Every structure is written in C-alpha cells, then in structure tokens.
Amino acid sequence: MFTLLGSDPHSLARRGRLVTPHGTIETPVFMPVGTQGSVKTVHPAELKALEAQIILGNTYHLAVRPGMEVMREAGGLHKFANWDGPILTDSGGFQVFSLGKIRKIKEDGVHFQNHVDGSPMVLGPESAMEIQATLGSDIAMLFDECPPHPCTFEYASTSLDLTLRWAKRCREWIDKNQPQTNGQPQLHFGIVQGSSFAELRARSAKELVAMGFDGYAVGGVSVGEPEPEMMAAVENSIPFLPHDKPRYAMGLGTPPQMLEMIARGIDMFDCVLPTRLARHSTLFTKNGTVNIKNQTFARDFGPLDEDTHPLCHGFTRAYVRHLIKAGEILGLRLISLHNLHFYLSLMSRARKALEEGYFNEFRKEFTANYKTHTSTPDSTSTPTPSPS
C-alpha cells in the first residue's frame, strides 16, 4: 500500500506514495480538515483545484450531527460530502476529551454528553471502528485516549495501557469485520501515545507495530506542549516505526514545524490553522503570517502574496481587506483558499526537493525566511495550533 520512493541523505525525510481505496497520495502530504463534512468555506471542486489529495473528517462531529443514521442512508461520507478522493477519519477520541461534557473513561469506552444537544453517548474502540466503517473513510484511526498536557508519568502510563488494550480490541474488530470502502479494504492507523515520556513512546510504538497496522500516527502532540517536547515526542516514536508504513503527526502544525517533522521522518499532516487563521483575517506568506485588517493594506493593490492560487488571482490585499472589514464572506473564502494553497504547495515543494535532493537546503531557507517577520508593525504571530 505504501511505497518508499526515496529518502533524504541529510535527515530522516522520505518521499513516498500511499495507495488508498479512493486514490493515490504522494507524501509528504498535508490533509485539509473537514471537521463537519466540509473544509471550512471551501467547495470540493476548489479542493481539487488546490490539488488537495486527501481530506479529513471527524468521527465525533459527524456522529453527533447529522448522526449515523443519516450518514448510513447517505451511503457514507464520500457521497454525503460530494468528495470522491481519499478521506481520513479520526477516531473521535480527541474530540470526546476536548468537547464532551461530564465524561467518564471506562474500560468499554468513554461515556459523555455531546456538545450540541447534551445527549448521552458512548464511544469505545468497537463503536469508533464501526462508525468509521460506516463513514467509509479510506484511512480510519484507532480509538485512543489522548492524555492532557502536562501529565504525570503514572497517568501517562496507565492511559497508555488503556490505549493499547483498546488498540487490541480495534485490531480484533477489524479482523472480524474486514471493513471495505470503494470495494477495497479500509486502511487502519495505530496511534502512538505516551505523552512526553520517551520510554512510554517506545513501548507504545513497539506494541502497536506488533499488532500490525497500515500506518502509524504520533498522537498526543499539539496539546499545548512546548515545541521541543512536540519534536521529542516524534523523535522518540519514529525509531520504533517500520520504514515501509506511512507516519502521521496528528493536528500539526505551523509551516516550519511541518518541515522539521518531515526531517524527523513524518509523512502526513493535518491542521486547522489554514482555515482557522483565515477566520482571524490572517494570511500565510513566505515571511510569516500577516493580518489583512492592518491599515497598511488599505491601499495595497498587490496580490495576497507573490505565490497564491489562481482562484485568488486578480484580488488585491486592499480588496480582501475591504471584504473582511465589511463582513463579506468572499474575503474569508479567498484567505482560506490562499492559506490552504500555502500549506499544500509547501508540501509539493518539499516533495520536489526530496526528489531532486535539495530538501535540506529547502527546509533551511524556508525556515530562515519564515522566521523573519514582515515589517508590518502589528502583524500577528502564528498562535499555537490546536485541533478543531
């Protein structure tokens, strides 16, 4: 399913190809997030134009609303959302912990009240896998507990034990039910946990690999920890993951973080930053982020950035600023498209750099430029990313 096409001589970076039931994905890849069955503000035809290879859907959100009866009758998430490309669904675990109310973690799963109408729900390893099978995603994630940051070694260890018991039950459910999508087997990724403890990360990775999955994610990152801990979590997991399977860092990150993660052996990313920062009127540029509401841009008749997507061609910073100030949705749309293009084209440039052997230079140059903020006095810095 996953083919390693090449690797960087100066780092752990890899160039790969992952075949899924709904299509082939070239890695490293960025996956736009469609939490509620829609990448915020974006039409599926625009996602194709942006050359998005795969999008995310959120099990928790979709199970709460519209609910699984609708999803089942719709024939799965691809048909429902009018997207025929690959989809990855998370297990819902993360959202249960971040959005669910009065939650209780039991051996069978998590009991909670959903954030929309307060209805009591239970999500556990079997139900999370069953829901994802119904959604028909190409890649389903195992159900795990994502420990908070910071947490004690004892909490992290006990939590990891539970996550591993759940992983075993997911494995059994998959083996028994053999879920398919588009007539081919659904792929399943295990999630390495263990918080900031190296020995727990190692144990987590080894035990998951022993169970055997189609890919492995590093979870429990981007939960408020400092960046060195985030990097360490990946560094402590990667050595125990097989070379012939894709690796996914969940919920990350800023553009330089993604390049650093690629250098540490990560192949796949998802992050809400491109669309979330758009809602804060913030554009990604090669020099860092800028807030389009800034007075500086009132008469800036240049493009959103030197490199922007054709869908944003012909629109000036002054116009987009006007749209945002006037509350016009087209402004939000254009910034969302631009930011997604920024992330997606960063990945395609990284792939090309890997193919042509200059990834190390590319990463250094990009990061050096990106850290240099624009001279705009009140341009926003990038906030810490967090999952949607």
Residues forming the active site = 90, 270
Q: Is 323 in the site for a second copy (CB under 8 A)?
A: yes
Binding mask 293-312 for a second copy (x = CB under 8 A): -----xx-x---------x-
Q: Is 65 in the site for a second copy (CB under 8 A)?
A: yes
Beta carbon of residue 181, minimum distance to a second copy (angstroms, whole number) = 18
Beta carbon of residue 74, minimum distance to a second copy (angstroms, whole number) = 6
90 is in an annotated binding site: yes
Give the nearer residue to a second copy in terms of CB position, either 9 or 327.
Answer: 327
| 217, 250 Cβ separation under 8 angstroms | yes
Beta carbon of residue 82, minimum distance to a second copy (angstroms, whole number) = 4
- 105 vs 99: CA distance, rounded Å: 14
Q: Is 48 in the site for a second copy (CB under 8 A)?
A: no
> Which H or E run includes 50?
none
Binding mask 330-369 for a second copy (x = CB under 8 A): xxxx------------------------------------
Burial 294-305 (b: 16+ CB within 10 A, else e): bebbeebeebbb
HSE-up of residue 100 (Cα within 13 Å, Cβ side) = 23
Give the nearer residue to a second copy in terms of CB position, either 232 or 278.
Answer: 278
User: Applying CB under 8 A, which of residues 319, 342, 366, 370 lies at the interface with a second copy?
Assistant: 319
Give the nearer residue to a second copy in terms of CB position, either 65 or 104.
Answer: 65
Q: Is 289 in the site for a second copy (CB under 8 A)?
A: no
224 is in an annotated binding site: no
User: Applying CB under 8 A, which of residues 111, 115, 286, 322 lies at the interface with a second copy?
Assistant: 322
Q: Is 35 helix (H, G, I), strand (E, B) or coil?
A: coil
301 is in an annotated binding site: no
- 261 vs 192: CA distance, rounded Å: 15
- Within residues 17-36, the interface with a second copy by CB under 8 A covers 36
Region near a second copy per CB under 8 A, out of 61-69, 105-113, 147-155, 341-349: 61-69
- 241 vs 233: CA distance, rounded Å: 13
Give the nearer residue to a second copy in terms of CB position, either 73 or 175.
Answer: 73
Q: Are strands 139-141 and 187-192 parallel, antiparallel or unpaired?
A: parallel
| 20, 259 Cβ separation under 8 angstroms | no
Q: Minimal CA–CA distance to 22: which of 58, 69, 68, 55?
A: 55
Region near a second copy per CB under 8 A, out of 72-80, 172-180, 200-208, 215-223: 72-80
- 211 vs 200: CA distance, rounded Å: 17
111 CA to centre of own chain: 25
253: preceding bond cis by omega (within 30 degrees): yes
- 132 vs 374: CA distance, rounded Å: 43
Give the nearer residue to a second copy in terms of CB position, either 232 or 323.
Answer: 323
Instruction: State the DSSP string of 1-22.
Output: -EEEEEE-TTSS-EEEEEEETT
User: Applying CB under 8 A, which of residues 183, 314, 377, 381 lies at the interface with a second copy?
Assistant: 314
| 238, 209 Cβ separation under 8 angstroms | no
94 is in an annotated binding site: yes
Beta carbon of residue 166, minimum distance to a second copy (angstroms, whole number) = 28
Give the nearer residue to a second copy in terms of CB position, either 9 or 301.
Answer: 301
Burial 227-249 (b: 16+ CB within 10 A, else e): eeebbbbbbbbbebbeeebbbbb
Q: Annotated binding site: which residue ranges?
A: 90-94, 144, 193, 220
Residue numbers of the site for a second copy (CB under 8 A)? 36-38, 40-45, 61, 65-66, 69-70, 73-74, 80-82, 298-299, 301, 311, 314-316, 318-319, 321-323, 325-326, 328-333
